[in-house]
Structure 1
Amino acid sequence: MTAIVVFWSCLALVVYAYAGYPVMVALLARARGRTPAPQDVAPPVSVLVAACNEEARIAARVRDILAQDYPGDCIEVIVASDGSTDGTVHAAQLDDPRVRVLDLQPNGGKAVALNAAAAAARHGVLVFADARQRFAPGALRALVAPMADPRVGGVSGELVIGEGAGNPGLYWKMETRLRSDEARLGWLHGASGAIHAVRRALYVPMPPGTVLDDMWTPLQTLRAGQYTWMARDAVAIDSASATLGEEFRRKLRTLAGNWQLIARLPWLLHPARNPVFLAWVSHKLLRLLVPWALLLALLASALAPPLPYRLLFALQLAAYALAALAWMKPALARQVPLLPAAGTFLMLNSAALLSLPASLAGNSQRLWKKH
């Protein structure tokens, strides 16, 4: 009987985390959601880019930002070179008074670089961008437009991922829809690191080594009594990971960063102190617990009475085998409907399983470095 209870309890947790919660949020957003009334505003913005050894692409990235349809006297770009050992500093120094470059030595990590850039910013809205992506036309205006609503303290754009071995496909579409619905309820507690903004007065410097700057800032915005909106027409474009191994490392870094945030922001676990406790537990914490629930469900079905649990045990093994095939052979998996999604599910939960030991290892600096 105990094994049966464990099996169904674990299955319920998995179904709630990946289906029940998103459906609940979608229904609530439809019934009670609110949308800020964006205006065609262009407040002065400081665009912050943390870069480490980005000589090859930093100049093009800065030009891409400056090419946005935005008043020239209302934009500055601050490149924080985080201990670069190549020509990043020189390459970023365009002949444009709107561009400033901080040569930070030694390498202190992305959090330190962003803190330094935010401290040097002159304008009241901070926009965060990465070196590897580019902004779609009109992205900057679309990003700051919701800030015409005084309740909006921050805005996340949308990251659009191209084709490649590490394209998360269906998962990313579902995740983007969930974030959009959370934003309509005032529950959004994460942003796209490639394109998001916050009012400078709400920016809280991050401790050195913080991995998830794109969660730290929205969470601090919520604690200050304002919320983060998701502007889906503010688009940053990225290429998919070149290999599945690269995508796995990226997800491992992100998921380990969630454990790190729990250690650094213990109020996340307190229902009375976390203003989005239900959303954070359902969206973030349970995703970290799902792989453990899956393992327990597999073990419980092996120990439960023979029928029907032996059959369920065999079905789970078969499903994992197919997912592993899809993970290892993505080109083959694309020939079978839903099989790529199964491979992505296995990859994500494998990363989640390893995220706790990766976080406990304590080497957060290594998590941010390029591989």
Structure 2
Amino acid sequence: MTTLAFSAETVFWLCTALVAYAYVGYPLFVALLSQRYGQVPFESRLCPALTVVVAAYDEELRIAARIDDILAEDYPPQRLQVLVVSDGSRDGTADAAAIGDPRVRVLALPRNVGKAAAINAALRHVETELVAFTDVRQRFAPRALRALVAPFADPAIGAVTGELVIAAGKDRAATEGVGLYWRMEKRLRADEARLGWLHGVTGAIHAMRRHLFRPIPAGTVLDDMWMPLQVLWSGHQVWMSRHSIAHDHASASADEEFHRKLRTLAGNWQLLARMPALMNPFANPVFFAWFSHKFLRLLVPWALLLALAASALASGPFYRWAFYAQLLGYAGAMIGLGLPKLASRLPLLPAASGFVMLNLAALLSLPASLAGPSRLWRKH
């Protein structure tokens, strides 16, 4: 009985330490290290020739407005091009994208091949040294592209990500906790960038040197992880320009947000299967950051379950209180997910609900990744 109690206590503290490190310890460590040793790349006000690639599928109603938004950027018109890839759209996306501006080209693929393959097709038609990527649903701030290309004046920079700003949707309570997580995530990415550890970009607004692009395997969910990792593998760095802003709207509901998180987290498992070198500290130049930031978060929900079970088995009043506190916290979080308007009136409950939603998605991400990428995509 003593051995069981000791074992349960050890498991509880190990699991608690893993969760605390993944969400608190590592971000704090990176923030402190960034303040002391972080570096900022040299930037230039020059605007090099740039092609913005937009992969679109059945976006007839939104594509023209998206193109107009890009062309309205405060960027020299003669140096800006837009390449729209209609990924086997069943509607009039390709025709709607042909707005009659010579700076806009449309590549209509005969069948739907997925975003990764569509980007591969687009890059075969890009002639500029710098290429940017965005989606249809976002909008750029007026000087977003200028800020995005400025760090490329530093030859060490191979890719740059902008910052995605998410406006609250109609159901503010449903995604308030996730919004807090996203603000913390952006701060962590900015700190990692200053250390040369950044290994992901936001698909809404990012750019890279064209010669560093490597074809993305068909069906890859996280193209916005595959591309920057290839840049790092080439010996270059990924930077985050917080003045390069893309605007988006929040998910309409907690269910929609959950599906997005599930797709992203499942994509991490898929990426690991396709890039096993990620687990090799001698081959992965940002192994410590990737392992601490991405991989451990896939393990957190399992650690949470083990901590709950261990606290139930351990002896002593502390562990009994810990067990009941966990049950109470999970119950409150589930109530918050089911009654978001009520949760918005109670301090910390939206954050707890967002945390539980995120980790439920992480828990289901492995079986979701095994189900195949086609089941992870859903248009909103």
Give the C-alpha shift of residue 306 in structure 1: 4.1
State the Cα deviation string for residues 72-109 of structure 1 (Å, max 9, x = none).
Answer: 11111111111110111111111111111111121110
SS of alignment partner, residue 368 of structure 1: coil
Q: Which residue of 1 aligns with 2:315?
A: 305
Q: Which residue of 1 aligns with 2:133?
A: 128
Q: 2: CA distance between counterparts of 1:245 and 1:208?
A: 27
Task: Indicate which of 11, 21, 26 corresponds to 1:6.
Answer: 11
Q: Which residue of 2 aligns with 1:110?
A: 115
Q: Which residue of 2 aligns with 1:35?
A: 40
- Aligned residue runs from structure 1 range 1-371, under 5 A: 1-164=6-169, 165=171, 166-167=175-176, 168-361=178-371, 363-370=372-379
State the Cα deviation string for residues 180-208 of structure 1 (Å, max 9, x = none).
Answer: 00000000000010000000011111000
Whether the aligned pair in 2 keeps the contact of 1:291 and 1:350 (CA below 8 Å) is yes
Give the C-alpha shift of residue 29 in structure 1: 0.2
Q: Which residue of 1 aligns with 2:3?
A: none
Give the C-alpha shift of residue 171 in structure 1: 0.8
TM-score normalized by structure 2?
0.96
Bigger Cα displacement from structure 2, 284-293 vs 160-169 = 160-169
- Equivalent position amino acid for 2:374 in 1: Q
Q: 2: CA distance between counterparts of 1:21 and 1:155?
A: 23
Q: 2: CA distance between counterparts of 1:18 and 1:341?
A: 13
Whether the aligned pair in 2 keeps the contact of 1:109 and 1:368 (CA below 8 Å) is no
Give the C-alpha shift of residue 305 in structure 1: 1.0
State the Cα deviation string for residues 304-334 of structure 1 (Å, max 9, x = none).
Answer: 1142212111100000011112222222222
Give the C-alpha shift of residue 21 in structure 1: 0.1
- Equivalent position amino acid for 2:356 in 1: L
Q: 1: CA distance between counterparts of 2:53 and 2:336?
A: 38
- Give RMSD over aligned pairs: 0.9
Q: 2: CA distance between counterparts of 1:338 and 1:316?
A: 15
SS of alignment partner, residue 282 of structure 2: coil
State the Cα deviation string for residues 5-29 of structure 1 (Å, max 9, x = none).
Answer: 0000000000000000000000000
Number of paired residues? 370
Bigger Cα displacement from structure 2, 279-288 vs 113-122 = 113-122
Whether the aligned pair in 2 keeps the contact of 1:110 and 1:368 (CA below 8 Å) is no
- Equivalent position amino acid for 1:366 in 2: R
SS of alignment partner, residue 295 of structure 1: helix
Identical-pair percentage: 61
Q: 2: CA distance between counterparts of 1:121 and 1:366?
A: 30
Bigger Cα displacement from structure 2, 331-340 vs 131-140 = 331-340
Q: 2: CA distance between counterparts of 1:169 and 1:336?
A: 16
Q: 1: CA distance between counterparts of 2:348 and 2:292?
A: 24
Give the C-alpha shift of residue 337 in structure 1: 2.2
TM-score normalized by structure 1?
0.98
Give the C-alpha shift of residue 221 in structure 1: 0.6
Structure 1 unaligned regions, length at least 5: none
- Equivalent position amino acid for 1:89 in 2: A
SS of alignment partner, residue 80 of structure 1: strand
- Equivalent position amino acid for 1:367 in 2: L
- Equivalent position amino acid for 2:364 in 1: L
SS of alignment partner, residue 61 of structure 2: coil
- Equivalent position amino acid for 1:8 in 2: W
Give the C-alpha shift of residue 30 in structure 1: 0.3
Give the C-alpha shift of residue 37 in structure 1: 2.3
Give the C-alpha shift of residue 38 in structure 1: 1.4
Q: 1: CA distance between counterparts of 2:311 and 2:215?
A: 47
SS of alignment partner, residue 124 of structure 2: helix
- Equivalent position amino acid for 1:101 in 2: V
SS of alignment partner, residue 54 of structure 1: coil
- Equivalent position amino acid for 1:141 in 2: R
Give the C-alpha shift of residue 212 in structure 1: 0.4
Structure 2 unaligned regions, length at least 5: 1-5
Whether the aligned pair in 2 keeps the contact of 1:77 and 1:99 (CA below 8 Å) is yes
